[in-house]
Amino acid sequence: MDHNQAENFQQLVLRLKADKSYDAIEKLSGGAPTGRSLQKLLTKGFTRMPDPETFQGLSRALNVPQRDLVLAAARTLGIYIEAENPADLTLVGAGRLPYESQELLRSTSRELQRWLERDQQHTVATDDSKQGATADVHELFPVHRAAADKGDQGIDPEQLPES
């Protein structure tokens, strides 16, 4: 979405608030923000980011992700953050994985990106996209070598095909 068309904090909260009173929002939020402080935020605006409790409470009260509220507040302050980047791949539920698994996914992603960059550099250098696309494959899996050459550790020579 073009950031010039995206709602700022006041617009988003007022739209989601609809006909609910400030006191009703306060009750739904669990007390933060108070009805009075929310009314002040929406009518007078703000020059600093609201506190985390405000985002958490409004998220509960208005049934909206905190991320949407934070991005709208940033737009209100003149900070435009691209909400979604088409180059990013989101893996649903990956954030609930153990830390080690998350790190494995991150490192795998970095390595795949390095391979892609290296392939793109090779393609530009040779100016032949087909040759560049297969260069790393030949490097990783040489054609002249069998799956396991005789003499490799852990390979039973009796299990190798006859050459």
pLDDT at 76: 92
Binned at pLDDT 50, 70 and 90, residue 28 comes out as very high
pLDDT at 9: 95
Coil vs helix vs strand at 79? coil
- Indicate the pTM of the whole model: 0.52
CA-closest candidate to residue 65, choices 83, 49, 79 = 83
Residues 6+ apart with CB under 8 A from 76: 8, 9, 10, 45, 46
pLDDT at 3 over 50: no
Cis, bond preceding 98 (omega within 30 deg of 0):
no
pLDDT at 156: 64
CB atoms within 10 A of CB 126: 12
